[in-house]
């Protein structure tokens, strides 16, 4: 009601100005600037985003002047539109990699990139298959939705974003329930809790909704909207890069919001820390990056990791080298999907495989890893002609072409001393148009060697690891036999 009255007053004020273009433009700009400040995302970067209301005011007044046949107003509006477009194009060029490659290099050099051995990074799972993450984010979300159907909560809520995290000694997927829409928010006012699914058990499902009142949420409205709540409490000039629901070791859920600020134009977000929001009261506690509580797994968003590795691959030898016009040595590009895993020390890491610059195949030259709390980047190399996770998925699905199962969540582990892609094969359902999609039901677990044609699948983790190790041993025996035949064959020596 109040919003409608304000809107009517605004329209009345604008129409009362008549044909005075300057007054109408100024008032429109002020109103749009206030609207952007109050109702949209934080206006960070060059000009603090005020070019948007400037551009909007010019468009509005162009339409108004054309309707009123105000020739001067039309010309003035067109000039303002051109000024806005030229200014933004200029800023986009100035802050692009063409002129800012040194700045991007300085950013990636702030945290030294260290080379490590894959033997020190990849978790050995031959004798402990529990360490294998068997579920993907999509599978966990599907299983969480089933709980809502059985608890009759599906009419008002749905499962929001679920994220992998360590809670105690287990790695789980946790996600808060979200409102289905504005009417559900108006009548319910709060969310009853969150769901937890064990990520290491291929048969796991969410047992029940964990009870915890959640008032502040991304799906709430007005001042209860989580992002707006942060804007109104000192974060209107910051980027809220990511909002994750994480559970502490005592079983209490918190909103973990990564706070950052662009330092090169609109990009190159520098993470300043996290804002930890209590879901019921809305109390906000800010922690600098080096002060984050130990139980928090994700400070660095996936997109920040992706950009940092991309810059490292592109700008090591300057911008022009990335276009093939200079020294392309040491340049590389991302060649796979990003995955999240935990290393031998129990630290969460973003991982991605990369290939040499100019390569067009599915090879893997390096694997880059970033600590999700400290932004520390490491990498390791694999001998031979290793494949990335996309190619591994294709090889695993090739084992079950007739069944049309889908491979999900391929992660690189060590199995009996061999880097191995391990993933889940899920059953697929058919759409009305003849397509197919994963329905979240686990059909099997697959192992694909990182470079050799050794691959297999079984219905559970222990069986597939045992079968895969048997195949590895069989190949080793064949290699020994071939070496023996070489030395025992008398014709070879003459």
At 45, is the pLDDT very low, low, confident or very high (cuts 50, 70, 90)? low
Q: What's the whole-number mean pLDDT along residues 250-266?
A: 89
Say yes or no to pLDDT of 12 above 50: no
- Distances in Å between the alpha carbon of 345 and those of 342, 353, 371, 417, 419? 8, 21, 11, 18, 18
pLDDT of residue 435: 54
Contacts of 265 (CB under 8 A, 6+ apart): 45, 46, 91, 92, 94, 95, 96, 100
Say yes or no to pLDDT of 485 above 60: no
Say yes or no to pLDDT of 445 above 50: yes
- Asked whether 427 and 404 are in contact (CB, 8 A), the reply is no
Structure tokens, 307: 């950009």
Q: What's the whole-number mean pLDDT along residues 1-22?
A: 48
pLDDT of residue 484: 46
Please report how many Cα atoms fall inside a 13 Å half-sphere around the Cα of residue 118, on the Cβ side: 20
Say yes or no to pLDDT of 416 above 80: yes
pLDDT of residue 133: 93
Structure tokens, 441: 């039901």
pLDDT of residue 179: 95
Mean predicted lDDT score pLDDT of the chain: 82
Q: What is the pLDDT of residues 317-367, one digit of tens each?
A: 555 555 555 555 566 777 778 999 999 888 999 999 887 766 666 667 789
Say yes or no to pLDDT of 451 above 70: yes
pLDDT above 90 as % of the chain:
41
Q: How far apart are CA 4 and CA 347, in angstroms?
A: 51
Q: Which residue has the higher pLDDT, 190 or 364?
A: 190
Q: How far apart are CA 194 and CA 171, in angstroms?
A: 16
pLDDT of residue 176: 95
Q: How far apart are CA 28 and CA 30, in angstroms?
A: 6
Say yes or no to pLDDT of 172 above 70: yes
- How many CB atoms lie under 10 A from the CB of residue 189? 12
Dihedrals phi, psi of 252, to nearest 5 degrees: -95, 135
Contacts of 96 (CB under 8 A, 6+ apart): 265
Q: What's the whole-number mean pLDDT along residues 56-78?
A: 79
Say yes or no to pLDDT of 142 above 80: yes
Lowest mean pLDDT among 7-11, 20-24, 230-234, 457-461: 7-11
Q: How far apart are CA 94 and CA 147, in angstroms?
A: 51
Say yes or no to pLDDT of 3 above 60: no
Lowest mean pLDDT among 208-212, 309-313, 341-345, 388-392: 309-313
At 433, is the pLDDT very low, low, confident or very high (cuts 50, 70, 90)? low
pLDDT of residue 9: 43
At 454, is the pLDDT very low, low, confident or very high (cuts 50, 70, 90)? very high
Q: Highest mean pLDDT range out of 18-32, 117-131, 134-148, 419-433? A: 117-131
pTM score, whole prediction: 0.82
Angle at 246 between CA 240 and CA 250, to 5 degrees: 145
């Amino acid at each position: 009601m109040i919003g409608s009255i304000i809107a009517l007053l605004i329209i009345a004020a604008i129409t009362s100005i008549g044909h005075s273009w300057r007054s109408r433009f100024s008032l429109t700009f002020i109103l749009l600037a206030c609207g952007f400040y109050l109702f949209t995302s934080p206006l960070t970067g060059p000009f603090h985003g005020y070019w948007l209301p400037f551009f909007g005011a010019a468009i509005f007044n162009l339409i108004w002047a054309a309707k009123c046949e105000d020739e001067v107003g039309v010309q003035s509006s067109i000039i303002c539109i051109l000024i806005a477009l030229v200014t933004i194009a200029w800023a986009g060029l100035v802050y692009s990699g063409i002129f800012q490659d040194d700045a991007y290099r300085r950013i990636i050099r702030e945290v030294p990139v260290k080379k490590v051995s894959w033997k020190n990074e990849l978790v050995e799972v031959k004798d402990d298959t529990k360490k294998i993450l068997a579920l993907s984010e999509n599978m966990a979300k599907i299983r969480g939705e089933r709980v809502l159907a059985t608890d009759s909560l599906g009419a008002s809520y749905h499962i929001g974003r679920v994220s992998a995290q360590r809670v105690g000694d287990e790695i789980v997927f946790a996600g808060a329930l979200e409102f289905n829409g504005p009417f559900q928010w108006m009548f319910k006012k709060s969310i009853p809790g969150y769901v937890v699914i064990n990520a290491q058990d291929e048969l796991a499902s969410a047992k029940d909704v964990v009870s915890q009142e959640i008032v502040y949420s991304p799906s709430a409205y007005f001042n209860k909207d989580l992002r707006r709540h942060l804007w109104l409490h000192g974060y209107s000039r910051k980027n809220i890069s990511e909002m994750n629901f994480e559970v502490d070791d005592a079983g209490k859920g918190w909103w973990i919001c990564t706070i950052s600020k662009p330092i090169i134009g609109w990009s190159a977000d520098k993470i300043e820390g996290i804002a930890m929001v209590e879901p019921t009261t809305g109390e906000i506690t800010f922690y600098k990056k080096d002060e984050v509580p130990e139980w928090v797994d994700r400070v660095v968003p996936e997109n920040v990791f992706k950009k940092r590795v991309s810059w490292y691959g592109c700008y090591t030898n300057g911008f022009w080298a990335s276009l093939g016009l200079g020294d392309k040595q040491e340049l590389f590009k991302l060649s796979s999907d990003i995955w999240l895993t935990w290393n031998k020390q129990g630290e969460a890491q973003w991982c991605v495989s990369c290939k040499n610059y100019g390569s067009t195949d599915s090879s893997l030259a390096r694997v880059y890893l970033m600590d999700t709390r400290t932004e520390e980047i490491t990498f390791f190399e694999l001998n031979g002609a290793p494949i990335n996770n996309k190619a591994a998925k294709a090889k695993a699905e090739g084992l079950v072409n007739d069944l049309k199962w889908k491979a999900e969540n391929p992660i690189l582990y060590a199995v009996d001393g061999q880097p191995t892609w391990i993933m889940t094969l899920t059953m697929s359902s058919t759409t009305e148009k003849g397509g197919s999609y994963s329905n979240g039901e686990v059909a099997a677990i697959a192992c694909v060697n990182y470079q050799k044609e050794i691959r297999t699948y079984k219905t559970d983790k222990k069986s597939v690891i045992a079968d895969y190790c048997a195949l590895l041993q069989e190949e080793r025996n064949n290699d020994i036999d071939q070496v023996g035949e070489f030395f025992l064959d008398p014709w070879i020596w003459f």
